[in-house]
Amino acid sequence: MINDEPDARDLVAIALSSFRDSILPLVPAEQRFTALMIANALATAERELAAGDKAEPALAAAVGGLIGEEGALSVPLAVLVPRLCAAIADGRFDAAGPQAALRRVLFDLTRARLAVSNPKLLAAGR
């Protein structure tokens, strides 16, 4: 029987907890910044694993609808975002109506990214 626990998310959480509790307090001052960067990277990886791809289908649908690719559910968000950037550069959102729709989608994309990269900022409502 295959043991699938702990999974990647659990392993990162264990590593982060161990690092913060056992290693970080022992790190000399001159290496503290590097140690904190490692802890931050592990925390970001933990949040990214926890989030999974839950938000991606909705975001892909929103971006796809915005750029006229309604069948975008099968197209990854990583492919659609550069297409959105090209549409912005081409001036497709210069008018007020399309610009308002663009702002909503960009806001949603930003919130999804902040939920992983900086949830404290998101929670602060800034």
Phi, psi of 69 (to 5 degrees): -120, 75
Q: Is the pTM of this model over 0.85?
A: no
- 38 has a pLDDT exceeding 70: yes
Domain that holds residue 17: 8-51
Indicate whether 39 and 71 sit together in one domain. Answer: no
Indicate whether 13 and 47 sit together in one domain. Answer: yes
Which pLDDT does position 119 carry in this prediction?
85
Token reading at 46: 């933990």
Range of 2-16, 37-51, 65-79 with top mean pLDDT: 37-51
Contacts of 61 (CB under 8 A, 6+ apart): 72, 73
Indicate whether 71 and 91 sit together in one domain. Answer: yes
Which pLDDT does position 71 carry in this prediction?
63
Indicate whether 75 and 23 sit together in one domain. Answer: no
Does 81 map to a domain?
Answer: yes
Rounded to whole angstroms, the Cα distance separating 102 from 107 reads 8
Indicate whether 81 and 119 sit together in one domain. Answer: yes
Domain count of the fold of the chain = 2
Q: How confident is the model at residue 120 (pLDDT cuts 50, 70, 90)?
A: confident
